[in-house]
Amino acid sequence: MTRAAPSEILARVDHRPWPVPARGWVQRQTWNDFVFCHWPVPVDVIRAKVPAPLDLDLWEGGAWIGIIPFNMTGVTLRGFPDLPWFSAFPELNVRTYVNVGGRRGVYFLSLEAHNPLAVALARAWYGLPYMRATMKWWRDGDAIEYRSVRTHRGEPPAQYDARITPHGDVRYAVPGTFEHWLTERYALYVVDGKDRIWAGDVHHTPWPIREVSLDIRTNTLAASHGITLPDTPPHALYSPGVDTVVWSPRRVG
């Protein structure tokens, strides 16, 4: 996908559920070949994995867990160029959904990345549970092959191996639908050791989405968190991606 300038990204804000932060953004990223892959999970199971200060965000009374593979490019600080050894790498995260003061967002159980420097910086700056992994991502015709093996010392092992085949026309999620609830979120939340909530604001244009066929050959990401996924196909969507700007974490409350 062609990268948009931050000014172009910020020129469209009408789709956001709240205004962009007044302070300046600090980082830009492009999220490519993003696969929204979700399973329903009992609420009590998710509640046990999410810190108590965060309220769960449920869809029609149900909790969902997402396992999201994608490819990062253009990762750099504001005013800096791309760096060949830092700015592009695969990522894979396990996430669920929370609500803080009426602002719906994402809570990450874990994030895997192929770049050890990015892992170290995200853990220190955002307090996110990033983990090192050996990862491979490549195109095979219309499909994408994705492999990940967690290598982070002291963390439970986890693997992911899938073939991703997008199809159908590009469309956009309609507000009020389950697809919109899953995809259109503009904050991540973490809770520190003193039970303080921190928010990481992001901004991008609405997600372009397509249908997708998945052949998931190995997936032990949820199991590494003690969560058993239902033996049913996931709800899955593919996006070619979005350009984003990111703000530094801010204390909430």
Res. 1: pLDDT tops 60: no
Instruction: Name which of 185, 151, 132, 3 is nearest 76 in CA terms.
Output: 3
Instruction: Name which of 99, 40, 42 is nearest 64 in CA terms.
Output: 40
Return the pLDDT at 2: 65
CB within 8 Å of 103: residues ≥ 6 apart: 17, 18, 187, 199
Return the pLDDT at 199: 97
Cβ–Cβ < 8 Å for 171, 210: yes
Rounded mean pLDDT, 107-124: 92
Cβ burial 124-161 (10 Å sphere, 16+ → b, else e): eebebbbbbbebebeeeeebbebbbbbbbeeeeebbbb
Rounded mean pLDDT, 157-168: 98
Q: Which residue has the higher pLDDT, 213 or 80?
A: 213
If pLDDT is split at 50, 70 and 90, which confidence band does 84 have?
confident
Q: Which helix H or strand E contains 111, and what residues bound it? A: strand 103-113
Q: Between the CA atoms of 163, 167, 170 and 175, what dihedral angle is there, to the nearest 10 degrees?
A: -70
Pick among 2.40.400.10, 2.170.150.20, 3.90.380.10, 3.30.1360.30: CATH of 31-252 = 2.40.400.10
Return the pLDDT at 93: 97
- What pLDDT digit, counting tens, does each position of 24-68 carry? 999 999 999 999 999 999 999 999 999 999 999 999 999 999 999
Rounded mean pLDDT, 106-134: 93
Tell whether pTM > 0.85: yes
- Taking the mean position of all CA atoms in its chain, how far away is CA 133? 16
- What pLDDT digit, counting tens, does each position of 173-190 carry? 999 999 999 999 999 999
Return the pLDDT at 85: 76
Return the pLDDT at 125: 86
- What pLDDT digit, counting tens, does each position of 209-249 carry? 999 999 999 999 999 999 999 999 999 999 999 999 999 99
Return the pLDDT at 3: 80
Mean pLDDT of all residues belonging to the chain:
95
Return the pLDDT at 192: 95
Rounded mean pLDDT, 91-112: 97
Q: How far is CA 160 from CA 61, 68, 73, 94, 134, in A?
A: 29, 11, 21, 11, 11
Cβ–Cβ < 8 Å for 46, 65: yes
